[in-house]
Amino acid sequence: MVLAGLAWKLLMDAFERAGAAVPPDQWTDVRFEDVLLAPRPRFDDLLKFAGLDWTARFEAGFAHHRFQSDRSQAFRDDLSPANLVRLDRVLAGHLRAWGYAVDDRPPTVLEDGWRCAPP
């Protein structure tokens, strides 16, 4: 699980470098959670950013998709509490930078003996 978290950190670092390498009017960040919470406004923002209109054809395609806000936390159902703590510890700085909550409880020893250092 920690390796997956480290891979995410590498990707986020690469996105940050890419965003810094292009003019601000040519880059936008989109969080999956934000799309799930307000899909229509977020897609409208993306279309405007790309200089496109919300056409009837786009609307027809958009209407075929369901956006469930609870999916943003679905990974919590698939990971053990120990792995969730590990991810929070490994990703704490990046999570905070992107506006995500981080578990700041003191270090703990997990059920498998792995000790989590504070973020």
Q: What is the pLDDT of residues 34-90, one digit of tens each?
A: 999 999 999 999 999 999 999 999 999 999 999 988 777 777 778 877 788 888 888
DSSP assignment of the chain: -HHHHHHHHHHHHHHHHHHHTS-GGG-----HHHHHHSHHHHHHHHHHHTT----HHHHHHHTT----GGGGGTHHHHS-HHHHHHHHHHHHHHHHHTT-----PPPEE-TTSPEEPP-
Q: Please calculate the CA angle 73-70-61 and round it to the nearest 5 degrees.
A: 115
Tens digits of per-residue pLDDT, 90-102? 888 898 998 888 8
Whether residue 4 is predicted with pLDDT greater than 80 in this model: the reply is: yes
Q: Where are the domains of the chain?
A: 1-27+79-119, 31-72
Q: Is the pTM of this model over 0.75?
A: no
Length of the chain in terms of residues written:
119
pLDDT band at residue 107, thresholds of 50, 70 and 90? low
Residue 119 pLDDT grade (very low, low, confident, very high; cuts 50, 70, 90): very low
CA distances from 7 to 10, 11, 74, 110 (A): 5, 6, 19, 22
